[in-house]
Structure 1
Amino acid sequence: MRRAVVTGAPGSGKSTLLAQVAQHGIATVPEVARDILQSSGGMEMRAERPLDFALAMFDAQRACWDRGGQMPVLFDRGFADIVGFLRIEGLVIPREIDAACRECRYEGPVFHAPPWREIFRQDEQRIQTWDEAVESDAAVVQAWRDYGYSPITLPLADPVTRAQFVLERL
């Protein structure tokens, strides 16, 4: 296993899980969208130019692709998540994003963090409502399946238990 992914609903504990897994020596790559949203003009780009936002996520994800060399790496989201975002926005999937989903294969498991009402919180970058988060989850999970992956659903459990679940499967 070189590359594995955690995907799923906004606010479902993905970043917390990656932080916990990193404490066990697994290299992690944070969600690229968060950095874009926190940068100047990022929120406006997402709201007003979703295709540009998707392309920015793609460029950032592509730059992270080879991170870690031969060491195992756990990504917070991946190329198929961008496809899910584009589908929700009703946009056509650019050829280069589709090609990356087909050619840049994650060898490790794709873990699915399902919507979890009890821990869901909105913040300055996570602007989706609960219903939008559930819709986003369905779109990204379907995108992963469409590209030939079988996401493994994470338990709704504390971060330590979730991390152990992931570590046992890596």
Structure 2
Amino acid sequence: MTERFHIVTGGPGSGKTSVIEALAAQGFPYMPEAGRAIIKDQVDIGGLALPWSNSAAYAELMLGWEMRSWREAQALDGPVLFDRGIPDVIGYLRLSGLPISEATMRAAHVRRYARRVFIAPPWPAIFMQDAQRKQTEAEAEATYHAMVAAYTDLGYEMVPLPLASVAERAKFIRANI
């Protein structure tokens, strides 16, 4: 287990990326979220590995991205923040009603993160849809619950982020790593 690798997860539109970007501005190295980048890339090339057209192919690309992020983070010093991690792929597969391959489960067991995982709870006041985030608030909440289940099943302890300003959330994370 790599105790200096800190995950921030949760449903879409819950403020994860905003707090990670705030911490990055304070000097914390971070590994960006796979989902948005994959969607942008697939749309740019006319690819089909998209959550609304081929969820299984999308999940495969996410797994590869998260494994590469984990490997690249080993070269960084000090604590590293991750905007989601390998267990998020398991949560996504479950949410999509897709099977979880042995390789995906093995990846989640071999590539570990700090035991305490920060999770951004659903927060309707800040939730917004956009070109990559097409989920409804109900789907975002279901994603939150899928992530809690995936990480808990893998032995992680969930640490909910407060429903507070980005600065207060960043301070909370700093205090807890």
Bucket of the pairwise TM-score, normalised by the shorter protein = over 0.9
Letter matched to residue 55 of structure 1? E
Residue 2 of structure 1, CA deviation: 2.0
Aligned match for 1:83, one of 90, 100, 117: 90
Show the 5 A alignment for 1:118-133.
118-133=125-140
- Shift in CA distance, 43/15, structure 1 to aligned 2, threshold 3 Å: farther
Aligned residues: 170
Letter matched to residue 112 of structure 1? I
Secondary structure in 2 matching 1:161? helix
- Alignment TM-score, normalising by the size of structure 2: 0.91
In the other structure, the counterpart of 2:24 is 22
Residue 42 of structure 1, CA deviation: 5.4
Residue 70 of structure 1, CA deviation: 4.7
Tell me, yes or no, if the aligned pair for 2:7 and 2:114 is still in contact at 8 Å.
no
In the other structure, the counterpart of 1:139 is 146
Residue 108 of structure 1, CA deviation: 5.5
Letter matched to residue 18 of structure 1? I
Tell me, yes or no, if the aligned pair for 2:11 and 2:140 is still in contact at 8 Å.
yes
Residue 138 of structure 1, CA deviation: 0.3
- 2:19, 2:144 → 1: CA distance? 17
Aligned match for 1:52, one of 57, 78, 87: 57
Residue 23 of structure 1, CA deviation: 1.9
Secondary structure in 1 matching 2:118? strand
Show the 5 A alignment for 1:1-170.
1-39=3-41, 40=44, 41=46, 45-68=50-73, 69-71=75-77, 72-107=79-114, 109-170=116-177
- Alignment TM-score, normalising by the size of structure 1: 0.95
Fraction of identical pairs, as percent = 39
Question: Can you give the 5+ residue segments of structure 1 that lack an aligned partner in the other structure?
Answer: none
- Shift in CA distance, 134/70, structure 1 to aligned 2, threshold 3 Å: same
Q: Deviation per CA, 1:46-105: give whole Å up to 9, x if none.
A: 212111100000011111112232522100001111111101111100111111111111
- 2:123, 2:69 → 1: CA distance? 28
Letter matched to residue 53 of structure 1? Y
Letter matched to residue 163 of structure 1? A
Letter matched to residue 30 of structure 1? P
Question: Can you give the 5+ residue segments of structure 2 that lack an aligned partner in the other structure?
Answer: none
Residue 44 of structure 1, CA deviation: 5.9
Letter matched to residue 2 of structure 1? R
Residue 107 of structure 1, CA deviation: 2.4
